[in-house]
């Protein structure tokens, strides 16, 4: 009897999770119920969690789990996932996102349709159906000091939602499908970034390559408004995250606007931390501290 040819993988769904077991379980449950499930793989990277993630792993034998001993930051974890992936389309997915049955295949259809886009994002909605797109302005040099101070990117209004896919400047990694050849051509994500600014890096690289990121409003996912894994983190971890954010901003600034601009930014953050008596942040900024696995994160 002739054996059936294996189904060729169209996409790899890549999830980085840290102390997010309930959200991860819901996310994987939705993915396993997807149409065309046999055409994509799921890779979940556990970034050193201390919760019930091992129980989630046991419940989903068809998911590839990669367990890291410590939290090495999002960039290193997602790079490990991409290097493990077997397909040429990568869907980055936050554990708090719940896909619809056709989300993965619809995103793959759009990228495979011959468009010049390097990436495509679904429209994220709240559980009540209210749009909640994770879209931002690509950081401009003059804006970056304020972004460092605020700890967040500048939101961008979504394009018209009834005109089909539309180009956007910067879609977060919350739910984003990328062409594998594009990101492999960059040798994956620059690991000078750690937990933050990695999505801004890819948005800028897409722009520099004269490619596009498309928002596809007809393809939807639910973003559950739950606090992130660091919402209740102790002060030393919050300081580490603030330092990571400043370090990412300085790396981005140096890379795209010059080393002197990056040094000026780092010094301005250090001075503000000094006069604000934020000595842990001051030490972190001057030492370039970031979430890279060298720290024990509770």
Structure tokens at 62: 């068809």
Which of 37, 39, 43, 34 is CA-nearest to residue 16?
Answer: 43
pLDDT at 1: 46
Architecture of the domain made up of 11-223: Alpha-Beta Complex (3.90)
pLDDT category, 3, cuts 50, 70, 90? low
pLDDT at 189: 97
Which of 81, 73, 107, 70 is CA-nearest to residue 15?
Answer: 81
> At residue 280, does pLDDT exceed 90?
no
Q: Where are the domains of the chain?
A: 11-223, 235-287
Q: Are 170 and 138 in contact (CB under 8 A)?
A: yes
Question: Which has more confidence, 154 or 273?
Answer: 154
pLDDT at 229: 87
**How far is the C-alpha of 57 from the C-alpha of 67, rounded, in Å?**
10
pLDDT at 6: 60
> At residue 4, does pLDDT exceed 60?
no
Structure tokens at 128: 């009540």
pLDDT category, 287, cuts 50, 70, 90? confident
- For the stretch 234-260, pLDDT in tens is 988 989 999 999 999 999 999 999 999
Please state the rounded mean pLDDT for residues 190-203: 97
Question: Which has more confidence, 160 or 105?
Answer: 105
pLDDT at 116: 84
- For the stretch 220-236, pLDDT in tens is 999 999 988 888 889 88
**Which bin fits 168, alpha (ψ -120 to 50), beta or left (φ > 0)?**
beta
- For the stretch 100-159, pLDDT in tens is 999 999 999 999 987 789 999 999 999 999 999 899 999 999 999 999 999 999 999 888
Task: Provide the CA 158 distance to its chain's centre, in angstroms.
Answer: 19
């Amino acid at each position: 009897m002739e054996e059936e040819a294996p189904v060729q993988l169209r996409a790899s769904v890549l999830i980085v999770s840290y102390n997010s077991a309930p959200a991860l379980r819901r996310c994987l449950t939705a993915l396993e119920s997807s149409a065309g499930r046999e055409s994509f793989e799921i890779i979940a990277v556990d970034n050193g969690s201390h919760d019930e993630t091992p129980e989630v792993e046991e419940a989903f034998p068809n998911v590839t789990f990669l367990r890291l001993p410590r939290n090495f930051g999002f960039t290193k974890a997602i790079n490990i996932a991409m290097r493990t992936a077997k397909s040429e389309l990568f869907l980055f997915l936050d554990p708090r996102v719940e896909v619809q049955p056709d989300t993965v295949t619809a995103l793959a259809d759009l990228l495979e349709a011959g468009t010049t886009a390097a990436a495509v994002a679904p429209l994220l909605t709240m559980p009540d159906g209210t749009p909640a797109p994770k879209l931002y302005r690509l950081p401009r040099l003059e804006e970056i000091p304020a972004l460092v101070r605020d700890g967040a990117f500048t939101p961008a209004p979504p394009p018209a939602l009834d005109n089909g896919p539309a180009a956007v400047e910067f879609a977060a990694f919350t739910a984003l499908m990328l062409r594998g050849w594009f990101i492999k051509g960059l040798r994956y994500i620059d690991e000078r970034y750690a937990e933050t600014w990695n999505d801004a890096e890819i948005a800028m690289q897409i722009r520099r390559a004269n490619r596009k990121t498309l928002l596809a409003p007809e393809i939807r996912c639910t973003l559950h408004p739950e606090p992130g894994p660091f919402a209740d983190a102790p002060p030393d971890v919050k300081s580490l995250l603030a330092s990571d954010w400043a370090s990412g901003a300085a790396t981005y600034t140096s890379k795209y606007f010059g080393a002197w601009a990056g040094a000026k930014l780092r010094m301005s953050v250090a001075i503000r931390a000094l006069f604000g008596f934020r000595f842990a942040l001051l030490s972190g900024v001057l030492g370039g501290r970031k979430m890279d696995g060298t720290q024990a994160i509770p």
